[in-house]
Amino acid sequence: MLSLALVVALADPLPSFEFSGLRASEPVAADTPELTRCVGAPSKRSCNLTRPSFADIAIRYSNVVTHDGQLYALFIGADAADYSKAVEALKLKYGKPASTTLIPTTPGGIQFQRSATWRFADGFLNIQMTDGERQFLMGFGSNRKAAPKVDF
């Protein structure tokens, strides 16, 4: 019988997150062509993606946050009608989600807020319906801890 530690060691390691050429485990150059309209100090910047779509889905808005030159968070909003298409595109790229949920959003349970989450070595990606089912939000969050602030 295999011990639990051996079974865990044999499991596939989680991949690193990558989207549109941005990788959570690699530095993001200040002049990267994937980003535009950046604001903030080099240690913490907020930018928009230059690409207008992914998987033939129009991006309504985007926000990319870097901390100390590395991808820290990524947010994309798009029309709710494209939610299923986006989930299928993410499944093709990243595989089956680690979890999916259906959450009643009204007392009668008529509307549902759908979501799916993928886990990575360096964070997680979540896609969910928001705003009364009119749009979906896709977000990546890094599990890399920001350096502690030291005041002298």
CA angle 105, 123, 24 (to 5 degrees): 130
As a whole number, mean pLDDT of residues 78-104 equals: 88
- Within 10 angstroms of residue 131's Cβ, the number of other Cβ atoms is 11
Instruction: Tell me the pLDDT tens digit for each residue of 35-82.
Output: 999 999 878 999 999 999 999 999 999 999 999 888 999 999 999 889
Average pLDDT of the chain is 81
> Is the separation of the CB atoms in 119 and 150 below 8 Å?
no
58 contacts: CB under 8 Å, gap ≥ 6: 52, 78, 79, 82
Residue 150: the pLDDT is: 59
3-class DSSP string for 90-102 = HHHHHCCCCEEEE
Residue 3: the pLDDT is: 46
Residue 130: the pLDDT is: 73
